[in-house]
């Protein structure tokens, strides 16, 4: 994935699976992430829906229905995304953050990204 972020603010590391409406992305953090950092990582993970040569710049426009389900001290996670809706330059996604073994759901919610 090609992102304009630099360390230590780049969290989305590797696309694990991808189809037209869903993706799973491996994310890791230097410190135990806060809920706001998970939202940013989910937004970065939405870049998985764009082809490697199709570089786009996106901005997090909205986050809603965010739920902190299980606190953790882990630093490695899987973010599962579902593309809900695309309208012109806006895309809405649902996300679920899970432990790497996908046994624990850490948080979930929705966000909207504006693509330029």
pLDDT digits (tens, 9 = 90+) for 68-113: 999 999 999 999 999 999 999 899 999 999 999 989 999 999 999 9
- Residue 21 CA to residue 72 CA, distance in Å, equals 28
pLDDT band per the 50, 70, 90 thresholds, residue 50 = confident
- Residue 53 CA to residue 103 CA, distance in Å, equals 34
| Domains of the chain (ranges, CATH numbers) | 12-115 (3.10.129.10)
């Amino acid at each position: 994935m090609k992102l304009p972020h630099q360390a230590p603010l780049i969290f989305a590391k590797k696309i694990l699976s991808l189809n037209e409406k869903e993706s799973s992305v491996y994310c890791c953090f230097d410190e135990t992430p806060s809920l706001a950092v998970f939202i940013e990582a989910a937004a970065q993970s939405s870049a998985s829906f764009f082809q490697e040569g199709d570089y786009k710049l996106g901005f997090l426009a909205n986050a809603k229905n965010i739920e902190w389900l299980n606190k953790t001290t882990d630093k490695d996670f899987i973010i599962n995304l579902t593309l809900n809706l695309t309208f012109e330059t806006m895309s809405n996604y649902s996300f679920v953050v899970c432990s790497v073994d996908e046994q624990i759901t850490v948080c979930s919610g929705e966000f909207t990204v504006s693509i330029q």
